[in-house]
Structure 1
Amino acid sequence: MERLQKVMAHAGIASRRKAEELILEGRVTVNGKLVKELGTKVTPSDKIEVNGVQIQREIPVYFLFYKPRGVISSVNDEKGRKVVTDYFGQIEQRIYPVGRLDYDTSGLLLLTNDGEFANLLMHPSNEIEKVYVAKVKGIPEREALKKLERGIRLEDGKTSPARVKLLSLDKKKQSSIIELRIHEGRNRQVRRMFEAIGHDVLKLKREQYGFLTLAGLNSGEIRELTPHEVKQLRAQAMRKR
């Protein structure tokens, strides 16, 4: 048996804390009976409804996906473009991406049907490090890279300090390959950071998420996370709490 709010969070209804609020507000029933006790436990066969709508309970699954460029980090697209779940046709569960990668960005993306797990990883306070490798126009001066390291002011606020490494440069083609380590996840953040120092991104790839890497995968390939990896990610996200 599991606590009701945990089951609701796993089903992606809301975070566990929000699920507790829904229970206290009298908006949750179990087998047709109103439940307002946070200690309530349920079995896999119990029928749980939130605001009169039955929640769908599935065995939680966790995947690491090497997202190609030109794919939307969503479960559907109104323009008919390819989405990440198109690569999971054999998966019965209704999975969705944890965060997102831009259409033109490739690399490591997690997908799951565990709403609590996804909310935990995406919470701004979790500080899970993401490693990006960017090919940018021009050759940035050392002072420009230091601006990224100190944190750079964008239209939605100053970024946290980043770790930056110039991997290579091509004077003839006037381009550079730069590694950027950040723990935030704002919309188009890496591209906007480089644009702010005057170097547009030509190509971008996320190579690492926490301790997870793309080792052994080609673009478009998938692997399931091990129980130990899931446990490690949870622990890493909970460190700052």
Structure 2
Amino acid sequence: MKNGKGFIEVIDMERLQKVIAHAGIASRRKAEELILAGKVMVNGKVVKELGVKVSSSDRVEVEGIPVESEVPVYFLFYKPRGVISSVKDEKGRKAVTDYFPEIEQRIYPVGRLDYDTSGLLLLTNDGEFANLLMHPSSEIEKVYIAKIKGIPTREQLRSLEKGIQLEDGKTAPARAKMLSLDKRKGSAIIELTIHEGRNRQVRRMFEAIGYPVMKLRREQYAFLTLHGLKSGDARELTTHEVKQLRALALTKKS
């Protein structure tokens, strides 16, 4: 809510970093870094302490720019292949936010999907919410459907489930299920459920056992699915779904 001057209006007293996160400027952790770096001002004075609280009458600025509050929005998007999971791309490639031209809020993706990977992606302007879901301790399950070159054995799939050594460490336990196979074409469709979010993780896991991914789609995120959506479609999350996601992440962290 704005106070008529374009500055943040907060109901009751809130910690400064939380206010910045809710405004969609940055995650709470990033907001804390901005405060400690002396880049945040409250009522014209630089604040470098994390315990400071502000109210609706306080003027908040980040790097000299007044921070306007935005109504939090939450979207479920069916990302197509060939689209980058970013707000914009210096190479001129299509970005996920290009599919939301009518949205005034500064939304950004929660995590990312590779350029060549399609499927379920969340977007929001709620930095605190995004940071909560992306935190490793939240252990939000993601279900991927992968078409791979070759037909793995049950033992090879078990190795994925137990955790497999990658260059950035061993993966956490997962679930792997063969949905179908084509002996003539020498390919298989595998469902893989993980809760980590490393860069190109699913592709690297299959490559590690000798089966490169030909096509990859994220089918599910926590309890959310792509049901009713076509590639490039989006819908707003319901208030209940947002509460469920937040509760799920907090339960995992506790």
TM-score (norm 2): 0.88
**Deviation of 1:12 (Å):** 4.1
> How do residues 104-143 of structure 1 correspond to structure 2 at under 5 angstroms?
104-143=116-155
Task: Output the CA distance in 2 between the equivalents of 1:169 and 1:215.
Answer: 24
> Match of 1:160?
172
Decide whether the 8 Å contact of 2:17 with 2:50 is kept in 1.
Answer: no
1:40 and 2:53 aligned: yes
SS at match of 1:64: strand
Cα RMSD (Å): 2.0
Decide whether the 8 Å contact of 1:20 with 1:38 is kept in 2.
Answer: no
> Match of 2:163?
151
Match of 1:55 among 34, 47, 67: 67
Supply the AA of the counterpart residue of 1:201: V
Task: Output the CA distance in 1 between the equivalents of 2:50 and 2:117.
Answer: 45
> Match of 1:72?
84
> Match of 1:9?
21
Which string of whole-angstrom CA distances, capped at 9 and with x for unpartnered residues, describes residues 205-230 of structure 1? 00000011111111100000111111
Supply the AA of the counterpart residue of 2:249: A
> Match of 1:85?
97
1:237 and 2:254 aligned: no
**Deviation of 1:46 (Å):** 4.2
**Deviation of 1:118 (Å):** 0.9
1:211 and 2:216 aligned: no
**Deviation of 1:47 (Å):** 2.5
SS at match of 2:140: coil
Task: Output the CA distance in 2 between the equivalents of 1:213 and 1:140.
Answer: 27
Q: How many residues align?
A: 240
Which string of whole-angstrom CA distances, capped at 9 and with x for unpartnered residues, describes residues 142-200 of structure 1? 11101100000000100001101010111111110000000001010000000000101
Decide whether the 8 Å contact of 2:24 with 2:70 is kept in 1.
Answer: no
Task: Output the CA distance in 1 between the equivalents of 2:231 and 2:50.
Answer: 47
Supply the AA of the counterpart residue of 1:156: D
SS at match of 2:68: coil
Question: Percent identity, aligned pairs only?
Answer: 75
Ranges in structure 1 where 5+ consecutive residues have no aligned partner: none
TM-score (norm 1): 0.92
